[in-house]
Amino acid sequence: MSGGPEARTVRELLFGLPMLGGELPSFDPEGAPDSPFPLFLTWLGEAVVAGVREPHAMSLATADADGGPDLRVVALRDATEAGWTFATQADSPKGRQLAARPQAAIMFHWREQGRQIRARGPVLRADAATAARDFLDRLPGSRAASLVGHQSEVLTDPAALPAAFAAASARVASAPDTVDPQHALFTVEPRTVEFWQGVPGRGHIRLRYRAERATGPWTRDRLWP
Ligand SMILES: Cc1cc2nc3c(=O)[nH]c(=O)nc-3n(C[C@H](O)[C@H](O)[C@H](O)COP(=O)(O)O)c2cc1C
């Protein structure tokens, strides 16, 4: 039984909340491919078919200049053997952190399937022409949101936000070829990729891939849960 609305403490609220409930898919690591990308593609496809909400929401961990960790969600724009690509503002905190320390960790959590995929590796920034093409591929609303800029800066006057959105939307409408120079595409290259399948009561299944470079060759290890 969970705490319900009358619960007074976090512990009471948490009491009895299920974790890894429902029917979970199977995962046979013996039949896993030699490299992680085909398995990522299979799991992503299964997440889409299973109706997992926002399977392309990816946690992205970076470190600041002092080595302090930072974490947020970004949208996955693409993934290939070369890595996972996302877009952001180059002058945002994460953009600056990646310029100074081009290393990151990412994570997908597909709770409806009891699955987690985590990866780490170096981060490459795409050239300006590639970023511009990605920007112009976006819907007008996303382009306007990007052109508003100032990501993560202090908003001293909240009334400035709708005004900035209106100005950016007008700019996109009148000059559709406008490209935000801060729009940056980053790719997290795989060096370590781990697939985690929850199996309550029988030991969760973990399969880790490791390589010196994204092209492999890959070493595969089963991990204790
Ligand atoms: C579901 C979801 C998707 C998001 N997608 C992006 C994204 O693709 N790019 C981005 O810059 N921020 C995205 N954000 C916002 C980031 O989590 C974050 O708040 C913002 O980028 C500022 O991060 P920073 O201060 O670490 O640079 C998303 C947030 C959520 C919850």
* pLDDT tens profile 181-212: 999 999 999 999 999 999 988 899 999 999 99
pTM: 0.95
Is the predicted pLDDT of residue 89 greater than 70, yes or no? yes
Residue whose CA is closest, atom 1 of ligand 1?
Answer: 57
Quickly state the pLDDT bin for 3 (edges 50, 70, 90). Answer: low
Kindly state the helix (H) or strand (E) to which residue 142 belongs, with its residue range: helix 140-148
Q: Which atom of ligand 1 is nearest to the CA of 95?
A: 27
Tokens standing for 142? 């996303």
Quickly state the pLDDT bin for 222 (edges 50, 70, 90). Answer: very high
Q: Which atom of ligand 1 is nearest to the CA of 88?
A: 11
Query: Ligand 1 in contact with 88 (CB < 6 A)?
Result: yes
Which CATH architecture fits 15-151+160-223?
Roll (2.30)
Q: Give backbone dihedrals phi and psi of 60, rounded to 5 degrees, phi first.
A: -125, 115
As a whole number of Å, the end-to-end CA separation of the chain is 27
Residue 75 Cα to ligand 1 middle (Å):
7
145, 168 contact by CB (below 8 A):
yes
Query: Ligand 1 in contact with 161 (CB < 6 A)?
Result: no
Q: What is the average per-residue pLDDT within 14-27?
A: 92
Q: Are strands 103-110 and 183-188 parallel, antiparallel or unpaired?
A: unpaired
Q: What is the average per-residue pLDDT within 46-62?
A: 98
Residue 201 has a pLDDT of: 87
Tokens standing for 105? 């960790």
Question: Which of 72, 91, 96 has most ligand 1 atoms within 8 Å of CB, for mutation?
Answer: 72
